[in-house]
Chain A
Amino acid sequence: MSLVGGFIRIVRQGFRVEFQEKERLLTPLFFAALMLLLFNFVLDEQAEAVQVKLFVAEIFLTMLFALHLCFSRIFEADAEDRAFEVLQTYSLHRLAWFAGKYCLAMIFGLLVIVPMILLSGLFHGQATLFLLYSPALWGVVVLMLAGLSALGVLLAAMMLKARGREVLFPLLYFPLAIPVLLAASEAVLGFISGSAAAWQWLGLLLGFDVIFITLSAVLFAELVGD
């Protein structure tokens, strides 16, 4: 099976499975909405300058938590009907398998993130609405998602046969994801304040993305190989 053919089949199978059970996608979305609600309860009314910082902190943290739910279940359907073992014996290119799952993680991540950011902007009102039109914010969010998805796919594959993976996944995912989260949030804050450091943070974020995507693709091939 060719690389592209394998990739298309993995993505198609993923879409079929995910949209068969709508709660797979809706659960992270509702979880994100719940987190926004809780954040707004805790943070309450703040000055306008603080509102912007809180908005950035809130969306990035909510993203991290909601994406963890998306990623940790990316191989769940494969594990349930033993498709994972069957795919291991197929002549499917390992890179196609990783790329397919990575693409699915990115798409489902975006489906959760975009409504969540819009909702958060709405909750904060006038102080943060201008940010929703900022290409910098959306660009950084996509770059952050690119790094986190690679890590999420690799960790989900690693945890597939681990006992207590519901606990173990966040235990490894959160500390490994912190550099990406930090670079992304600092870059956005830098762009908002017009600081030149924003570009450095953006470069750093790109660097982390390259490291995570390359490492994850190579290590995924090792993991599912003989």
Chain B
Amino acid sequence: MQQRIGQGWTQCLGLLLYVLLLSLWGYALIGLGSEEHQGDVYRIIYMHVPAAFAAFMCSFVLFVASIYGLKRNKHGQAVLYGRAAAEVGLAFTLITLVTGSIWGKPTWGVWWTWDGRLTTTFILLLLYGGYLFLWSAVSDPVLRTKVCSILGLLIFADVPIIYKSVTWWRTLHQPPSLFQGGQGLIAGEFLSLLLGGIAGVSLLALWLIWQRGINLGLQKEIDTQLIKKSLRY
């Protein structure tokens, strides 16, 4: 495992993703022109939308890790990746809420409103937090795998509610604005940069989950060794 985390290519991959994203955001800030209605403030979309996508994607990773952990891997690594997904998901949900709030002030006139999508994203943040609290509250590893996997599945079940909230609740938030009826609603250059951002941030989130999962595995190995050592004396 030490070899896996120490392998140079994984670090290169991470570095490459950071460079790619920084250049993309740099271009969005300097290279693109202003938007007709919102002026320059729209540029935050290149951070807000990819972060929201990554936050939602993390719940899917959590779901997959939970299913695998519950069915096949009750003593193993799967649930560690679930925890990693919850941590990364929490970070991206927080970024989504903060950037959304910054965007909301000039466009809606308020930092925060109890709009459907905002409220449910906030709920997602609380659930990721709850998952991490539950993780630390259960000490038996097999039971922890079970309860955390079950909570992971419940969180994933909440995600469609978040997505559909735009149409279910009366809202200030604009409807899904990337595509409608298979047609792109944003001009070509803006759209390709946004899709590039989504792909880049999603890959970064996956990379972070992967690295954090390995890290948690190492921590588990160290703890096991320490317990064995203390039992010998």
Q: What residues make up the interface of A, taking CB atoms closer than 8 Å to B?
A: 154, 158-159, 161-165, 168, 171-172, 175-176, 178-179, 182, 204, 211, 215, 219, 222-223
User: Looking at the complex, which one of B119, B126, B150, B158 makes contact with A158 (CB distance below 8 Å)?
Assistant: B150
Q: Which of B139, B154, B157, B158 contacts A163 (CB 8 A)?
A: B139
- CB-based contact B130/A215 at 8 Å: no
Taking CB atoms, residues of chain A closer than 8 Å to B139 are 163
Given A175-B126, A176-B158, A204-B168, A223 and B134 contact (CB-CB distance below 8 Å):
no
Given contacts A168-B130, A171-B130, contact A219 B137 (CB under 8 A): no
Q: Which residues of A contact B45 (CB under 8 A)?
A: none
B203 contacts the other chain (CB 8 A): no
SS of B interface (majority):
helix
Does residue B138 face the partner (Cβ distance < 8 Å to A)?
yes
* Interface presence of B143 (CB below 8 A): yes
Cross-chain contact B147 with A172 (CB below 8 angstroms): no
Task: Evaluate contact between B154 and A161: CB separation under 8 angstroms.
Answer: no
CA distance A222 to B147 in the complex (A): 9
Query: Are A215 and B161 touching (Cβ within 8 A)?
Result: no
The 5 A-B residue pairs whose C-beta atoms are closest, nearest first, are A162-B137, A175-B126, A172-B130, A158-B147, A163-B137
Chain B residue, CB-CB nearest to A218: B153
**A170 nearest CB across to chain B (Å):** 10
Q: Does A175 lie within 8 Å of B130, measured CB to CB?
A: yes
- A168: B residues at CB distance < 8 A: 130, 133-134, 137
Task: Kindly report which residue of chain B lies nearest to residue A197, judged by CB atoms.
Answer: B170
Q: Across the interface, name the chain A residue whose C-beta is closest to B170.
A: A197
Given contacts A179-B161, A222-B70, contact A165 B168 (CB under 8 A): no
Query: Is there an interface contact between B161 and A223, defined as CB atoms closer than 8 Å?
Result: no
Closest B residue to A211 using CB positions? B157
